[in-house]
Structure 1
Amino acid sequence: MTILTRIARGACACALGGVAFAASAQDTLQAGTDATVNPTVARQQAREIAQGDPQRWYRNDPQQQTLRKELGAALQEAQNACRKAPAAERKSCMDEARATWQRETAQLGKPMPRQ
């Protein structure tokens, strides 16, 4: 009988603990509303929102333009090298150069890995 009593008490304690945890989690979620933001911070945020997006977000990236020029120059060099190759290898060489250029140009839109 004492084992059953201990099991029942343990189950009740777990249930009460779960209810208490859920209640504290709900309080935490409600604490993140706009009503709890410091008024000074709220005014600063309102000013920043009213100013709109920073202009630097809309400027062209000169690094991207430079990379495109370099890729074009590399393609031209590869094509010139292919033209000097024997006629039997020329078409596959040109196809490979073009495929490399297309693959690297497609990767320009993706973020570059940090080194």
Structure 2
Amino acid sequence: MAQFKHLIIGAALLGAAFAAQARSNTTPPQNVQLQKAEIAKGDPPRWYQDDASPAAQLRTLRKEIGAALAEANLACKQGPAAERSTCMKEARATYQQDMANAAQIRAENHPH
């Protein structure tokens, strides 16, 4: 799967800010069961197939941006209450910036 530097950096910074305080996984609970089922089946073939078109690449990127927001929000909720509002505001700002720049990010990661 393609790497999206901007998205990963933003999510990593938010996640790292509260990693020490986090008491549990930052994966939303509804996704945990789906992940466990997929892991039991082994790597799905789609992991090794590039998206065929720019539109498909953009859909995948937007999905990943949304997943990063969900993880960041969960990490924020697990952090200190005094910092929660600022953390969530920063997570939303990162999400909005990444979504606004999704086409550019896709182009940087898929130059052809």
TM range (shorter): 0.3 to 0.5
Q: Could you state the TM-score of these two structures normalised by the residue count of structure 1?
A: 0.45
| Greater helix proportion | 1
* Structure showing greater Rg: 1
Q: Could you state the TM-score of these two structures normalised by the residue count of structure 2?
A: 0.46
